[in-house]
Amino acid sequence: MTQPKSINLTRYLVEQEREHGAITPHLRLLVEVVARACKRISLAVNKGALGDVLGAAGSDNVQGEAQKKLDVIANDVLLEANEWGGHLAAMASEEMDTVHPVDSHYPRGEYLLLFDPLDGSSNIDVDVTIGTIFSVLRIPADAGEPEERHFLQPGRDQVAAGYCVYGPQTQLVLTVGRGVAVFTLDREQGSFVLTDGDLRIPPSTGEFSINMSNMRHWAQPVRRYIDECLQGKEGPRGRDFNMRWVGSMVADVHRILMRGGVFLYPWDKREPGKPGKLRLLYEANPMSLLVEQAGGAAVAGAQRILDIEPTALHQRCSVMLGSREEVERLQQYHAQSA
């Protein structure tokens, strides 16, 4: 049998369903619908100043952050795309205060979809890489009308997670619990083509990713880790380190998935009452599942992120993830200082 020149997303998902029983028909439909929505978002992002997509939307999100026009466009595209398929019970988004049950006009399915429709919004107007992050949970069987409490599940219970990164290429990175697959958008045929069927993060790295301007606010274990990296070959690590910070989690995490590294957005004393800046349910959890499925690790200080029991839809957490050896070192430094 001649091997196909390329496997697209649909064939990959059919094989995951048929050969591995890894997904259900509804989950296959969900991923395909989200991927199609990401293609539409990518087109809007690529329009830039040529379309009415840049600048502020004139509204704030639940985080009190000014929304960009593309935040709202991306959110609306994902809501519309997922409303009618019968695969979802409800959705939740960084851009919406409360959960969004699927309109009772349509059949409801067994899944919950959470997303940050356009992560890295501060980069939109300066043409720096941004992306869409999504997470999939099952709604409890006896749930009835979908409510916020149904979304409050630990990240280890996700049935799928992924992101679409809008950079020099548009790439979809996905896990359905059997490793990580990478698809690159072929705009000529209009489909995501499999370009890596089993992405693995290198266990060690010489590259860290953190916003250094916050250094004076960090807790001691993070200070220690970064100071040791900065001491380079002459210091306790015995090697030099490089640093990258895009300011868009999708871009930084994608680089780490592709070539290794460690990403940190830790707690700091600027807002001591908040555990961190990034959101647990639709940023940290999906990225942590992808990183672990690729052989890396993801912690909030000493605790595994995927074990955090959520108490609120938009709660935040400290994030340290990437190459396993570096994350385990950070986890150890936090455990020692506890």
**Residue closest to ligand P6P when measured from CB atoms:** 249
Tokens of 129: 């890489």
Contact 267, 302 (CB under 8 A): no
The C-alpha atoms of residue 66 and residue 297 are separated, in whole angstroms, by 32
Q: Specify the residue, 143 or 219, whose C-beta has the smaller distance to ligand P6P.
A: 219
**x/- site string to ligand P6P, residues 270 to 309, per CB under 6 A?**
-------xx-------------------------------
Tokens 């990713």, residue? 209
Min separation Cβ 320 and ligand P6P, Å:
13
**What is the bridge-based pairing of β-strands 207-209 and 242-243?**
parallel
For ligand P6P, which residue of 25, 86, 238, 247 counts as binding (CB under 6 A)?
Answer: 247
Question: Does residue 319 touch ligand P6P according to CB under 6 A?
Answer: no
Question: Does residue 332 touch ligand P6P according to CB under 6 A?
Answer: no
DSSP string, 197-240: SS----S--SEEE--GGGGGGB-HHHHHHHHHHHHGGGSTT-S-
Question: Does residue 93 touch ligand P6P according to CB under 6 A?
Answer: no
Q: How many residues bind ligand P6P (CB under 6 A)?
A: 10
Each residue of 60-86: b (16+ CB within 10 Å) or e? ebeeeeebbbbbbbbbebbbebbbebe
Question: Does residue 256 touch ligand P6P according to CB under 6 A?
Answer: no
Helix H, strand E, coil C: the string for 134-190 is EEEEECCCCCCCCCHHHHCCCHHHCCEEEEEEECCCEEEEEECCCCCEEEEEECCCC
For ligand P6P, which residue of 249, 290, 294, 330 counts as binding (CB under 6 A)?
Answer: 249
Site for ligand P6P in 163-202 (CB under 6 A): none
Tell me the one-letter amino acid at 108: R
Question: Does residue 95 touch ligand P6P according to CB under 6 A?
Answer: no
Tokens of 213: 């301007």
Question: Does residue 56 touch ligand P6P according to CB under 6 A?
Answer: no
Q: How far is CA 302 from CA 32, 120, 219, 271, in A?
A: 36, 27, 13, 20
Min separation Cβ 103 and ligand P6P, Å:
30
Task: Please choose, from the candidates 271, 270, 267, 226, the residue with its C-alpha nearest in 3D space to the C-alpha of residue 245.
Answer: 226
For ligand P6P, which residue of 119, 268, 292, 326 counts as binding (CB under 6 A)?
Answer: 119
Site for ligand P6P in 120-139 (CB under 6 A): 120, 122
**x/- site string to ligand P6P, residues 208 to 237, per CB under 6 A?**
---x--------------------------
Q: Specify the residue, 159 or 313, whose C-beta has the smaller distance to ligand P6P.
A: 313
Q: Specify the residue, 257 or 278, whose C-beta has the smaller distance to ligand P6P.
A: 278
The C-alpha atoms of residue 187 and residue 290 are separated, in whole angstroms, by 25
Chain residues in the site for ligand P6P (CB under 6 A): 119-120, 122, 211, 247-249, 265, 277-278
